[in-house]
Structure 1
Amino acid sequence: MNVVAIFDIGKTNKKVFLFNEKYEIVWEKSVNFEETVDEDGFPCENIVLLKNWMLEQLSEIKSLTNYVLKAVNFSTYGASFVYVDKDGNPLTPLYNYLKEYPEALKDEFYNKYKGKQVFALKTASPVLGSLNSGMQIYRLKEEQPEVFTKVKYCLHLPQYLSSILTGEFFTDITSVGCHTNLWNFRKMKYHKWLKKENIIDRIPPFHYGKDTIKTKDGLLVGGGLHDSSSAIIPYTANFTEPFVLLSTGTWSISLNPFNNKELTFDELEADCLCYLQYIEKPVKAARLFSGNVHEVQTKRLAEHFNVPIDAYKEVYYDKKITASLRAINYSIVFSKKTNSGVLSECVFEKRNLSDFKSYDIAYHQLMLDLVEQQVNSTNLIIHNSPVKKIFVDGGFSKNSLFMNLLAEAYPEMEVYAASMAQASALGAALAIHDSWNTKPIQNDLIDLKFFKH
């Protein structure tokens, strides 16, 4: 059977999948690596281990007699640069985007380029330090000029993995278009600072997400995609009516491919940003740290009520409980209407758990507070766009309380829990569909469960 191999590289889990022509997963493997450290002793990805593991997996796949490997593509976490020399060999560790950024260097940069507010608006990039991956290049140039002179290309991680197989060097719009400080969204081209700092020549040309490169042995290799942009591809492939995708995990990210309005500074302050799809259309996005809040607060609840840490999995939506909680807390929850206030802190963090008679009631209150936050966050990107459906994937899509409360909050919308195996890997496979797959894309790639309000 014909298959495509997708390397889906997360910060923790490294996975490889084989999809058949119907986009069913027919083979998979995953691994976790010990991190190494950079020259400052800060933990970072072991790029040598990753490269060797990828090549080993590829040679194993080629030896499988029941599959014919047609193509390979990559979906990886973003905000990560590999600096290579003229032979394509890395010159530095793969610096971690969680690494603290020197304040003096950051201030010097923004002062040079009209200040944080103007710059953030042009590049649709909130000020995030190392998470603005372009700032990592600037830091290398300023702090290690002797290394920087040897850099032939600055490659985002997906394109580095692709270059290992092709020997060719490219840039991908989904990696550049995601809070990198590199892209001027108003002019839809690189920001001029790259030219002024003599960096632009070290950024290779664009490679379109749908195109592949043919290697000597006839394998078709994609240029790779940023995982956040890749995860939306199955949805845009299956649905044409305007929708918002709420992708939930540690972060809950609301993605609206049907909102191309420019970001305002207030939206940037409220943790909104823009992604670029592989077809170069902007996706407006809003982030909320709600998965993390849920994790911390369910631990607090478990300790207080002396129940197992995952007791919430047995709590089901109860209309009577939510109605009585709303009656008591209406003034508290709904008075904090300023977006930044609601978004920066969940009300529940300040609540006294002794006010609740039972774990179930307290958990209902936590979810009411989290959904209130979520609605404020999602509304930032729904605003003035023709959205009729909300798809929720990831952890909260399996939480009946979250889903029912969200459906109640959007009576004019259709709210669905969406499930699909490995969205970002599937997206990377679909992006290069025309290169390797002669069958049409099916319209049942995603399982949907409708929630009535």
Structure 2
Amino acid sequence: MSATAVLDVGKTNVKLVLFEGAAIVWQASMPNRPLPGPPYPHADVEAIWRFLLDGLRQAGAEHAIADIAVTTHGAAMALLGEDGLALPVMDYEFEGVDTIEAEYAPFRPSFAEALSPPMSAGLNSGRQIFYQETRCAESFAKVRHIIPYPQYFAWRLTGIARSEVTGIGGHSDLWAMQERRLSSLVTRRGWEPFFPPFVKAYEAIGPLLPAVRAETGLPQTVRVRAGIHDSNGSILPHLISFEPPFTLISSGTWAVIMAMGADPTRLDPARDMQAYADVEARPVPAAKFMGGREYAVILDGAEPGCGESDVAAVMAAGALALPSFVPNGGPFPAHPSEIRGRLPEGPGMRAGLASLYCVLLTDYLLEALGANEGPLLVEGSFAANATYCSLLAALRPYQAVLSSVDSGGTAYGTSLLATWPDMPAREPLHQAQAYRDVAGLERYKAAWRATLPG
């Protein structure tokens, strides 16, 4: 059977995963460590590129690779010159971008146009580009193409620059969501000529460059798919398997809640709600918080495992974790974090508190989105947390909580670009059983909600 190789560039880790159908047959990973600059903190694309080539060479010696597809985190754009990057790929956590807000604000498209809320640091891709244009003018003058991060690696593999909507259509300010075109920001700044032709994420944009074939040993027949934003990769299998309404909770460094079939008019930019564009450019109402990062902060080095008895002890003690534990994103970005009350002693207590925090914030955002119908599909790190899934099932008994039982997650969804819209058979999703003390959980939820700003 032929294999699809997926490069999955997350904010914390980079993976190369080979799929034969739904089965993982080879994988490798490395930490994703940004470089400090100059001219600003940026992605170490050369380390990732070397990791990709080495992995393709090793995996290709063992398996017949037919397709390569790339998925990356969002809020990352590559500005290409004649032969390579004109400017480094900015780390979206670079807070220096905030210094241009007064200059940028008059150009920001309205929320009604872009369904993209104002965000801190570089989490709006358009604000990144504005910073690069105004603060790095000499280098920006060399820009020939602006493409999303997945398409940067596709360009390095094929030499062909293309635009793709999922990488441009997520909290970027670059995309007019309802009109399905580049936004007024792009036209007013004169950036439109920089965006190469659009292709679908699943389109094959070309064969491998001869130099890549020579280094990896892969044949000329390998097809490189355009690539996709990571949260959109996660949702691909479910677009095939489920009819809206349904909601995907895609978790890792970020927890991204994507509510297929929800009403975009409910979106509140003050709560870090926005719409993503799916592979066919349809708006997908969404909300997010930095779930994996916040979980780790609350955990504070303690053991990650916990059970219902640990959760019960935390609730009985009245210990509350209050947002926000990271400054970027989420519905309460300016609210100072706090652990209120005395946390009981024990190895599972911090994990219990962190699980409660994440599930209560998830429930809050589901309610805000109006995502109250259809199944809740949990993938990534939260899917591996049985306590989280059990608590979510108790809070929302009118919705089935289904978690992914495989380890592919975003990478598996991205692998489907090679066969879209066909999907190989895979293991069924696991339905979570609700936490038993529903009344106690509801009281705890009410106490937690009472602490939140209006």
TM-score normalised according to structure 1 size? 0.81
C-alpha distance after superposition, 1:124-168 (max 9, x if no partner)? 222124111121221222122222222110122111111112221
Please state whether the residue corresponding to 2:404 is helix, strand or coil: strand
- What is the aligned partner in structure 2 of residue 178 from structure 1? 170
CA contact (8 A) 2:11 2:253 kept: no
Q: Hey, what's the Cα distance between the residues in 2 that align with 1:409 and 1:259?
A: 19
Please state whether the residue corresponding to 1:398 is helix, strand or coil: coil
Q: Give the alignment of 1:39-78 within 5 angstroms.
A: 39-40=38-39, 42-62=40-60, 64=61, 66-78=62-74
Please state whether the residue corresponding to 1:451 is helix, strand or coil: coil
Superposed displacement of residue 119, structure 1 = 2.2
Please state whether the residue corresponding to 1:131 is helix, strand or coil: coil
The structure-2 alpha-carbon separation of the partners of 1:389 and 1:78, relative to structure 1 and needing over 3 Å to count, comes to: same
Q: Give the alignment of 1:231-380 within 5 angstroms.
A: 231-240=234-243, 242-264=245-267, 267-299=268-300, 309-310=302-303, 313-317=305-309, 343=332, 349-353=338-342, 367-368=355-356, 370-380=358-368
- What is the aligned partner in structure 2 of residue 201 from structure 1? 193
2:78 aligns with one of 76, 82, 94? 82
- What is the aligned partner in structure 1 of residue 133 from structure 2? 141
C-alpha distance after superposition, 1:309-355 (max 9, x if no partner)? 21x62433589769967xx899x99xxxxxx998558999342216x
Q: Hey, what's the Cα distance between the residues in 2 that align with 1:167 and 1:398?
A: 38
Superposed displacement of residue 71, structure 1 = 1.1
CA contact (8 A) 2:75 2:125 kept: yes
Count of aligned pairs: 417
Letter in 2 for 1:186: Q
Q: Hey, what's the Cα distance between the residues in 2 that align with 1:428 and 1:320?
A: 38
Matched, 1:221 2:224: yes
CA contact (8 A) 1:254 1:381 kept: no
CA contact (8 A) 2:275 2:286 kept: yes
Structure 2 segments unaligned to the other structure (5+ residues): 209-219, 323-328, 436-454
- What is the aligned partner in structure 2 of residue 111 from structure 1? 106
Letter in 2 for 1:39: P
Q: Who wins on radius of gyration, i.e. which is larger?
A: 1
- What is the aligned partner in structure 2 of residue 306 from structure 1? none
Superposed displacement of residue 232, structure 1 = 1.1
Q: Hey, what's the Cα distance between the residues in 2 that align with 1:212 and 1:388?
A: 33
Superposed displacement of residue 182, structure 1 = 0.2
The structure-2 alpha-carbon separation of the partners of 1:262 and 1:100, relative to structure 1 and needing over 3 Å to count, comes to: same
| Deviating more after overlay: 364-373 vs 239-248 | 364-373
CA contact (8 A) 1:244 1:382 kept: no
Letter in 2 for 1:46: D
CA contact (8 A) 1:14 1:31 kept: yes
Q: Hey, what's the Cα distance between the residues in 2 that align with 1:190 and 1:428?
A: 24
Q: Give the alignment of 1:161-172 within 5 angstroms.
A: 161-172=153-164
The structure-2 alpha-carbon separation of the partners of 1:76 and 1:322, relative to structure 1 and needing over 3 Å to count, comes to: closer
The structure-2 alpha-carbon separation of the partners of 1:412 and 1:296, relative to structure 1 and needing over 3 Å to count, comes to: same
The structure-2 alpha-carbon separation of the partners of 1:141 and 1:263, relative to structure 1 and needing over 3 Å to count, comes to: farther
C-alpha distance after superposition, 1:417-450 (max 9, x if no partner)? 3232222111111022159xxxx52343453133
Q: Hey, what's the Cα distance between the residues in 2 that align with 1:105 and 1:348?
A: 27
CA contact (8 A) 1:238 1:443 kept: no
CA contact (8 A) 1:3 1:70 kept: yes
Structure 1 segments unaligned to the other structure (5+ residues): 303-308, 334-339
- What is the aligned partner in structure 1 of residue 211 from structure 2? none
Q: Hey, what's the Cα distance between the residues in 2 that align with 1:369 and 1:160?
A: 36
Q: Hey, what's the Cα distance between the residues in 1 that align with 2:23 and 2:350?
A: 41
Letter in 1 for 2:74: G
Please state whether the residue corresponding to 2:338 is helix, strand or coil: helix
Letter in 2 for 1:177: G
CA contact (8 A) 2:34 2:91 kept: no
1:94 aligns with one of 89, 96, 106? 89
Superposed displacement of residue 363, structure 1 = 6.6
- What is the aligned partner in structure 1 of residue 403 from structure 2? 417
Q: Name the % identity.
A: 22
The structure-2 alpha-carbon separation of the partners of 1:72 and 1:254, relative to structure 1 and needing over 3 Å to count, comes to: same
Q: Hey, what's the Cα distance between the residues in 2 that align with 1:81 and 1:149?
A: 16
Please state whether the residue corresponding to 1:36 is helix, strand or coil: coil
Matched, 1:28 2:35: no
CA contact (8 A) 2:310 2:349 kept: no
RMSD value over aligned CA atoms?
3.3
| Superposed structure 1 runs of 4+ greater than 4 Å apart | 317-325, 340-348, 356-370
- What is the aligned partner in structure 2 of residue 152 from structure 1? 144
Letter in 2 for 1:108: E
C-alpha distance after superposition, 1:153-211 (max 9, x if no partner)? 01221111111122211011010011111011232211122122111100111111121
Matched, 1:9 2:9: yes
Q: Hey, what's the Cα distance between the residues in 1 that align with 2:127 and 2:312?
A: 51
CA contact (8 A) 1:348 1:365 kept: no
The structure-2 alpha-carbon separation of the partners of 1:221 and 1:367, relative to structure 1 and needing over 3 Å to count, comes to: closer
Letter in 1 for 2:207: T
1:123 aligns with one of 95, 101, 114? 114
C-alpha distance after superposition, 1:61-117 (max 9, x if no partner)? 44x1x5222111111122112221234x1122222111114445221221345xxxx
CA contact (8 A) 2:233 2:411 kept: yes
